[in-house]
């Protein structure tokens, strides 16, 4: 029996993500948690004739514990999204506390769950999650993931437009580093098809992958940030985690993980000087099976991008760790 939880399930990402999970035959039970509206969302989804049993919970239901109890996978898109002019870092003050609270519940009633953090700023919320889990003595770095899949999805789409692929999904493009602005590093020298990005398009393409989220924030004009493409991306990652847990092999997707705690990560932590970094992760029955070093053989331009990303990440990670130890 597989129990999946979506925390923030009534939100812009949470609702379509919950819909996709309701359609997944690997999910037996889908528990929706939010501070508002989950009874309605759960009842609505429960009328879909797929197998997963859907339940909705609010804080009054044992402060969230009833929802999280015994979960196998917890996906967290809870928090506030960006408005025009905001960076992901501007969300820190509100979302840091929300993520900390949700991870505390998970640590208590679902310590073995895979935890997928979507709430921004991912560069800082994942270190917060790690610190909370460490403090509770239940940190398994192989099961904590910052979801950066949307950056990969955007890279696939934008590169496909340039190289004339019909479906970006057929390309594998590592996007590594972090998940905000200049910490996002697309490695175009490693596009699976061997496609090359023309020199005159390179800088604009890098910029579009790094700041693609701003296009959505601007177009939504105050009504939030990416929700539908994020639900797709979050689902794609969750589905891979679930399939790998069932024994499927060869499933790889970059994710923002705690390097010193995952096989193959220690050397990358030494090379980059940061403990958290998004790297290609091979998934297995216990979560991260191994990570591969995406920096081997990269171009000089990519080396420059990585350098900038690392500088940004250092501050983001430190901010998260400090918050976990000394919340305001
Ligand atoms: P939203 O405002 O539409 O939904 C957030 C939901 O979280 C709301 O329903 C709210 O009631 C709920 N919530 C707030 N506090 C909560 C708590 N303590 N426990 C449970 N639920 C709580 O926002 P949206 O657009 O769904 O975005 C959610 C988060 O995802 C934001 O932080 C956003 O920045 C982030 N995001 C991350 C992306 C990524 O690539 N990792 C991409 C796009 C957004």
Other C-beta atoms within 10 Å of 179: how many? Answer: 28
Q: What is the pLDDT of residue 18?
A: 98
Question: What ipTM was assigned to the predicted interfaces of this complex?
Answer: 0.99
Other C-beta atoms within 10 Å of 116: how many? Answer: 23
The CB of 36 under 6 Å from ligand 1? The reply is yes
The protein residue with its alpha carbon nearest to ligand 1, atom 31, reads 81
Report the distance separating Cα 123 and Cα 89, nearest Å.
Answer: 9
> Model pTM greater than 0.95?
yes
Report the distance separating Cα 320 and Cα 305, nearest Å.
Answer: 23
Report cis status (omega within 30 of 0) of the bond before 17: no
Q: What is the pLDDT of residue 151?
A: 98
Report the distance separating Cα 35 and Cα 30, nearest Å.
Answer: 17
Q: Residue 75: name the closest of 25, 2, 136, 131 by CA.
A: 2
Q: Which of 22, 179, 240, 319 is catalytic?
A: 179
DSSP β-bridge partners for residue 116: 75, 145
The CB of 101 under 6 Å from ligand 1? The reply is yes
In angstroms, what is the span from residue 80 Cα to ligand 1's centroid?
A: 5
179 counts as catalytic: yes
Give how far Cα 91 sits from Cα of 36, 57, 83, 254, 311, Å: 20, 25, 10, 23, 20
DSSP β-bridge partners for residue 31: 5, 55
The protein residue with its alpha carbon nearest to ligand 1, atom 35, reads 119
The protein residue with its alpha carbon nearest to ligand 1, atom 39, reads 118
Other C-beta atoms within 10 Å of 198: how many? Answer: 9
Q: What does pLDDT average to in each consecutive run of 10 residues of the chain (328 residues)?
A: 98 98 98 97 98 98 96 97 86 95 98 98 98 98 98 97 90 96 97 92 97 95 94 98 98 98 98 98 98 96 98 98 92
Q: What is the pLDDT of residue 266?
A: 98
In angstroms, what is the span from residue 267 Cα to ligand 1's centroid?
A: 33
The CB of 98 under 6 Å from ligand 1? The reply is yes
Tokens of 222: 């105050």
Q: What is the pLDDT of residue 14?
A: 98
Other C-beta atoms within 10 Å of 296: how many? Answer: 9
Tokens of 21: 């999970």
Q: Residue 35: name the closest of 13, 59, 55, 6 by CA.
A: 59
DSSP β-bridge partners for residue 282: 252, 290
The CB of 126 under 6 Å from ligand 1? The reply is no
The dihedral sign for the CA sequence 99, 104, 106, 112: positive
Residues 241/149, Cβ–Cβ less than 8 Å: no
The CB of 146 under 6 Å from ligand 1? The reply is no
The CB of 12 under 6 Å from ligand 1? The reply is yes
The protein residue with its alpha carbon nearest to ligand 1, atom 20, reads 34
The CB of 11 under 6 Å from ligand 1? The reply is yes
Q: What is the pLDDT of residue 82?
A: 85
In angstroms, what is the span from residue 193 Cα to ligand 1's centroid?
A: 35
């Amino acid at each position: 029996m597989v129990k999946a939880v979506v925390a923030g399930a009534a939100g812009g990402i949470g609702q379509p993500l919950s819909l996709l999970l309701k359609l997944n035959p690997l999910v037996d039970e889908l528990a929706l948690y939010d501070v508002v509206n989950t009874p309605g969302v759960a009842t609505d989804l429960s009328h879909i004739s797929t197998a997963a049993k859907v339940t909705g919970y609010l804080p009054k239901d044992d402060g969230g514990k009833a929802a999280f109890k015994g979960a196998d996978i917890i996906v967290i898109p809870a928090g506030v999204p960006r408005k025009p002019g905001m960076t992901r870092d501007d969300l820190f003050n509100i979302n840091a506390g929300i993520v900390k609270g949700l991870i505390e519940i998970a640590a208590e009633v679902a310590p073995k769950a895979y935890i997928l953090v979507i709430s921004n700023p991912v560069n800082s919320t994942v270190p917060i999650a790690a610190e909370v889990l460490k403090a509770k003595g239940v940190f398994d770095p192989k099961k904590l993931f910052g979801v950066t899949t949307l950056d990969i999805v955007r890279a696939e789409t934008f590169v496909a437009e340039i190289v004339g692929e019909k479906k970006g999904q057929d390309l594998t493009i590592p996007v590594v580093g972090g998940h905000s602005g200049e910490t996002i590093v697309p490695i175009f020298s490693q596009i699976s098809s061997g496609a090359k990005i023309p020199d005159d398009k390179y800088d604009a393409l890098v910029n579009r992958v790094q700041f693609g989220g701003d296009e959505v924030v601007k177009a939504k004009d105050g009504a939030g940030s990416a929700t539908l493409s994020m639900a797709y991306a979050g689902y794609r990652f969750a589905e891979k985690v679930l399939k790998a847990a069932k024994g499927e092999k060869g499933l790889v997707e970059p994710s923002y993980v705690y390097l010193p705690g995952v096989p193959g990560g220690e050397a990358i932590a030494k090379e980059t000087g940061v403990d958290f970094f998004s790297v290609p992760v091979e998934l297995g029955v216990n979560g991260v099976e191994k990570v591969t070093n995406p920096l081997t053989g990269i171009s000089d331009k990519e080396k420059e991008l990585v350098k900038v990303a690392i500088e940004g990440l250092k501050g983001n990670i430190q901010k998260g760790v400090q918050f976990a130890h000394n919340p305001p």
